[in-house]
Structure 1
Amino acid sequence: MHKYIWMAGLAFAFQVQAQAPKTPSQPPKKVTPVEQKKVVYQVFTRLFGNTNTTNKPWGTKEENGVGKFNDFTDKALEEIKGLGVTHIWYTGVPHHAVVADYKPYGISDDDPDVVKGRAGSPYAVKDYYNVNPDLAVDPLTRLQEFEALIERTHKNGMKVIIDIVPNHIARKYKSLSKPEGVKDFGEDDDVTQEYNRNNNFYYIPGQPFQVPTSPDYKPLGGDEHPLLDGQFDENPAKWTGNGSRAAKPDINDWYETVKVNYGIRPDGSKDFPELPEGFEKKTYAEHYAYWKDKDVPNSWLKFREIAMYWLEKGVDGFRYDMAEMVPYEFWSFLNSSIKMKNPEAFLLAEVYNPNEYRNYIFKGKMDYLYDKVETYDHLKAMIRGQALSDGLTDIRKRNQDIERHMLHFLDNHDEQRLASVDFAGTPERGKPLMVVSTLLSSAPIMIYFGQEVGEPGLEEGGFGKPTRTSIFDYVGVPHHQRWMNNGKFDGGQLSDSEKALRDFYKRLLTFSAKSSAVMGNYMDLHAPNASTPNYDGQQYAFARWSATEKLIVVSNFDSYREVDYTLQIPAELIRLWGLKDGTYPVKDVLYGTTVSLKVSQGKGQLPVKLKGSESLVLKL
């Protein structure tokens, strides 16, 4: 969801094991593959294949165009894979509330009074057992078209992630495709009670829902619509997705959604079994065994059914929207069930409170959390001149025990585009941020479609506003469209600078995906160079290494100043790398620049010369 305003308030807040010598009587030991860094390509599915360049504010899909599952051709997927991508997160796939008329296909209308934008919010899901009809060539075969996309993605060597939105669903939830025996959310609720443990929603008995109003906002930009009357039939009213208990929520609330009840009483207490002390150290199998005989709220069971449904269809993982608004006990229940079915499932959670990170990782059995509040926010502040690089070292130290779990990104559907005027300003200024985000930790790195060609998010979509590519409107994404080149996916319309940028991303990401050093050890080189002439708070350096690969990464965040200094390499690192006094060639893995590391009396010196916004990834 577009929750950047709400988040501001919330933000306050792991070598290969040595094997014993074999004897002839011992069976051969299983060889564990070298771990690969995961590279996630997030794509807003509705926008990816759209070639229409009209971009009329509040335009219909007929006016502005809409992308389809079939636009992800083998050629498109081959090019995405060529970036080093291991996983594609197809955003906005589950069937959410839309304004378009699909009654001829048996789909009920959605009321624009409770739909954000004309295309609708992908986080207001109305049917968890089917997909958005906008994305299909034939809405009647929309599920089969998505299943074919899953198969194509796998054939091209990548895994599939989709959203699960556990905290809230559309105000008008109605599944046409649910399996036999599955009941809709709220179908068996006792609506006379504000709270009941097995109700799926919270209610406001005796009060009907009222559509929020604002003098500054008109649904559909003021266009007429048969259902646009300021009314929506919901009696009694339900709590709104962000927790509002008002029958008439505020216009800034998530009024298009209702909050799901997980057995948290209105006073905040928990109405379900809690994990025993020490369970943060238990395996997912032990978590699964714990929940096997427990009585849990009905909403828990419904979402487990949903996850299992999509796993059966070949989905390889989930991104969980606003996961920290749901108790981590539920995540223990759900994620352990998922892992028992697919131990390799990729489970990513949107969590913004650093004080809760470890609960969701260790107790909730999440694989990865967004590293938004710390690394992302600090990098953004740095490029905007509001912070120095020193803080990156502090963050890395603070989260050393969970660094492998903290997914890095610089761009996604919620955030301002990296190349936008309110972030880096130009895609080139974002390059050192990308190098550090990618190589600083062993956690996955994620990019958002269009980021690799410098998409700045300038479009005025209607509900969506510039600097963010709208997720609520039918829009085209100009820089991405130039790379797409009318379905050729060859970058034929890109400028020279855009081609060079995409080449940079390709070099960096493909290297990271195969580098053993990036999945190995880390040492900060920033603090040891605090007194080095010409090395300041706009510079950053660190080392990564494995048994077979040794790297020194240096970045210049200053966009306008060329820097020239001698990086001091501590004696401890020289010892760990087993280097004797002498001179060693080191070569930049991105573009081939070669310099010499000089080791004398057990310490190292490395001459560095960086242009503005330049980085070197130097391999010994």
Structure 2
Amino acid sequence: MIKKITTVAGLSILLLATACKTTISKMNTEKKETGSEKKIVVYQVFTRLFGNKNTTNKPWGTIEENGVGKFNDFTDKALKEIKDLGVTFIWYTGVPHHALVQDYTSIGISNDDPEVVKGRAGSPYAVKDYYNVNPDLAVHPANRLQEFESLIARTHKAGMKVIIDIVPNHIARKYEGKSNPKDIHDFGADDDVSVEYSRDNNFYYIPNTSFEIPDGDLPLNGEKNPLIDGKFDEFPAKWTGNGSRKAKPDKNDWYETVKVNYGIRPDGSKDFSELPEGFETKSYKQHFDFWATKSVPNSWIKFRDIALYWTAKGVDGFRYDMAEMVPYEFWSYLNSSIKMKNPNAFLLAEVYNPQEYRNYIHLGKMDYLYDKVETYDKLKDVIQGKSYPDGLSDIQKNMTDIEHHMLKFLDNHDEQRLASPEFAGTPEKGKPLMVVSTTISTAPIMIYFGQEVGEAGNENAGFGTHSRTSIFDYIGVPNHQQWMNEGKFDGGQLSKEDKDLRDFYKRLLNFSVNSSALMGNFQEIQTANRNITSGYDIAIYAYTRWSDTEKLIIVTNFYSLASSNFDLRIPADIIRKWKLKDGVYTITDQLYHEKKTQLRVENGEGKAQISIGPSESFIFQL
């Protein structure tokens, strides 16, 4: 039977009257090879934008018109404020030197053709030189590497670890390794360009055919540039980054990049040794030993050398772009090599296919994957009134064995801003999503700079579009700039509402990194309350988390307009696990410590009277 129920975010939805299947799942808390017993909080910053004080925000604006942030903008004060937010890792996005339009020929860098650069500032995922960093980010571009090394040292001194990107699937069409260490050859330097495929070629080729610029919008919005002439010199043409085999890719292809060859033949078969059966249970050391006796494609070796170069400079981990476009055997080879140098390295992969999660975790030796198509997409549907939250329980149940590896987020450089009209609509509506993302599992939580002060990504930057902060253009980030306050990093220009929002994030994240329960067990209590508890509305979601020393009841209201009042039921099996005797217990909210209520245990079952407002969440501690 289906019955109509009240609305979430103003939209009518339907609820199956049949109760959800009970989800009782103990989290996978066994120590990983890289593991930590405390919650990990990742703060992603788009490095080019973080320190930019310029508020001009002209569409397609130049670096002189719209400004650009620098490594040096991450001052000791800035890093202290980020650390005090509860952050344990900073992911500096867009650090490796990528193709861009700015002229740096004075320091020996060739100009990039705007016809194969997205935007004016360029995509951070079209890397031009893996052994150096983006010259835009340096006060003195000739000393850019030293300036980044200083930032690594400052970040470590502030008590946080450093993550940067590696983009293994593709590189810029015009790759030039001007900073290669001795004996390192450029990508493609030793390729046989007369054939489409050879195992040790770094690229796939379209023999005897020249590359052609795709049809589409005018580069630089029609601005004159000596390199804009309708052609780009590439012979023979290479496959494009997203796998297009056309000499003239489509404008929607990743035309600014070329696909890297990992020993996958054009017919899809593998031209390298495969991991033996049972290797999903082996340690990274056993994976390393396996590859030590094998011949591997040249591209594998090149990316291993790149990762170890940055590891030696103090980088603590990597975020791998589009990891599922590269075979997991390569990840086994690369990640085991990194772990042999730094067993605590943080290895995060962008993977979107749930059917492949376990392969990339167990065979590819990834620490963490994006939890995008499960928890993120579900929460987005809930806040937009397209779904109800009960399904979160099934997501947790189905990922019980890998839940610790599924990094949670609501905002990043690829997605619409949480506060944008296209997502939650307001920062306030995003708060319950943040509480659930942070507390529902033992996995790391990630926030994107500006999220904590309500940044909505409204700017028309040029190549980029509004609702997500542009990664292709020089632009300012208004709410973040108000917190930055001309480099004081004290929130001096924030509104009271945005100050309160940042305080909420600070309270939540600092609680999470110090909570043993959030690294312990999970059990949903939706089934015990849905369709049974009077006043328990469709927008409510509740669950328990606990360890030997801490017991939590977490209640969230996704409604933005309505309050709810009800007696929350705590099932007898949880009461037994918590070893509670009949009686009355005070439980206190850990976000603001202002809300208290009583948990009454009678005949081995619990009830707690809850009064919860719009977009409100409680983390009640016993």
TM-score interval (norm. to shorter): over 0.9
CA–CA distance in structure 1, aligned partners of residues 471 and 218 of structure 2: 18
Secondary structure of 2:401's match?
Answer: helix
CA distance in 1, matches of 2:586, 2:59: 56
Q: Which amino acid aligns with 2:447?
A: I
Rounded Cα–Cα distance in structure 2 between residues aligned with 1:350 and 1:15: 22
What does 1:227-246 correspond to in 2, within 5 Å?
Answer: 227-246=227-246
Matching residue of 1:393: 393
Amino acid at match of 1:533: S
| Residue matched to 1:184 | 186
Residue identity in the other structure for 2:309:
Y
Q: Is the 8 A contact 2:29 2:519 kept in 1?
A: no
**Superposed counterparts of 1:143-154, under 5 Å:** 143-154=145-156
Match of 1:94 among 93, 96, 102: 96
- 2: CA distance, partners of 1:72 / 1:116: 26
Question: Is the 1:34–1:516 contact (alpha carbons within 8 Å) kept by the matching residues of 2?
Answer: no
Distance 1:156 1:453 in 2: 22
Q: For structure 2, list consecutive stretches of 5 or more residues without a partner in the other structure.
A: 1-27
1:565 aligned onto 2:575: no
- Give distance in 1, aligned partners of 2:184 and 2:538: 57
Residues 116 and 256 in structure 2, CA contact (< 8 A), matched pair in contact too:
yes
Aligned equivalent of 2:105: 103
Equivalent residues in 2 for 1:137-536, closer than 5 Å:
137-214=139-216, 217-530=217-530, 531-536=532-537
**Which stretch of structure 1 is more off in the superposition, 362-371 or 534-543?**
534-543
Q: How far off its partner does 1:33 sit?
A: 10
Kindly state the Cα deviation for residue 15 of structure 1 after the two structures are TM-superposed.
Answer: 6.8
Give the deviation of 1:270 after TM superposition: 0.3
How many residue pairs match? The answer is 591
CA–CA distance in 1 between the matches of 2:76 and 2:312?
23
Structure 1 runs of 4+ aligned residues shifted over 6 Å read none
Residue 16 of structure 1, CA deviation: 8.4
| Contact 1:113 1:230 survives alignment (8 Å) | yes
Query: What does the per-residue CA deviation read over 1:388-439, in whole Å, with 9 as the maximum and x for residues that have no partner?
Result: 1011011001101000000000000000000000000000000000000000
TM-score normalised by the chain length of structure 1: 0.95
Partner of residue 586, structure 1: 587
Task: Output one character per residue of 1:252-272: Cα deviation in whole Å (capped at 9) or x when no partner.
Answer: 000000000000000000000
Q: Which residue is equivalent to 2:10?
A: none
TM-score, length basis structure 2: 0.94
Alignment correspondent of 2:15: none
Q: Which deviations, in whole Å up to 9, do the C-alpha atoms of 1:497-531 show, x marking residues without a partner?
A: 00000000000000001110000011111121112
Query: Which residue pairs with 2:83 in the alignment?
Result: 81
Query: Helix, strand or coil: the match of 2:163?
Result: strand
| Superposed CA offset, 1:185-222 (max 9, x none) | 000000010000000000001110000012xx111111
Paired letter, 2:467 = T
Aligned partners of 1:595, 1:335: CA distance in 2, in Å? Answer: 48
Structure 2 distance, partners of 1:445, 1:497, is 23
Residue 570 of structure 1: CA displacement?
Answer: 0.3
Write the letter of the residue equivalent to 1:99.
V
Q: Any conservation in 1 of the 2:35–2:344 contact (CA below 8 Å)?
A: no
- Kept after mapping to 2: 8 A contact 1:77/1:153: yes
Kindly provide the amino acid, as one letter, of the partner of residue 262 in structure 1. Answer: Y
| In structure 2, C-alpha distance between the alignment counterparts of 1:148 and 1:350, rounded to whole Å | 28
Match of 1:123 in 2: 125
**Letter aligned with residue 616 of structure 2:** E
RMSD: 1.1
Contact 2:584–2:601 (8 Å) recurs in 1: yes
Partner of 2:65: 63
Q: Is the 8 A contact 1:86 1:158 kept in 2?
A: yes
Q: Take 1:121 and 1:359, find their aligned partners in 2: how far apart are those partners?
A: 29
Partner Cα separation in structure 2 for residue 583 and residue 534 of structure 1: 22
Q: Alpha-carbon deviation of 1:451? A: 0.1
Once the two structures are TM-superposed, the CA of residue 536 in structure 1 deviates from its matched residue by: 3.1
* Per-residue CA distance 1:223-268 (angstroms, 9 max, x = gap): 1111011210001100000000000000000000000000000000
Higher relative contact order (CA 8 A, sep 6+): 2
Letter in structure 1 aligned against 2:206: I
* Structure 2 residue identity aligned to 1:116: K
Structure 1 316/33 Cα, relative in aligned 2: closer, same or farther at 3 Å?
Answer: closer
CA distance in 2, matches of 1:220, 1:534: 56
CA distance in 1, matches of 2:551, 2:221: 56
Letter in 2 for 1:114: V
Shift of the alpha carbon at 1:534?
A: 1.8
In structure 2, distance between residues paired with 1:257 and 1:220: 18
Secondary structure of the residue that 2:337 maps to in structure 1? helix
8 A contact 2:29–2:442 mirrored in 1: no
> Which whole-Å CA distance do the structure 2 matches of 1:230 and 1:595 have between them?
69
Percent identity of paired positions between Structure 1 and Structure 2: 70
How far, CA to CA, are the matches of 1:305 and 1:609 in structure 2?
Answer: 57
Q: Is the 8 A contact 2:533 2:566 kept in 1?
A: yes
- 2:402 is paired with a residue whose SS is helix
Residue 608 of structure 1: SS of its match in structure 2? strand
1:401 aligns to what SS in structure 2? coil
1:547 to partner: Cα distance: 0.8
Alignment of 1:45-56 (within 5 A): 45-56=47-58
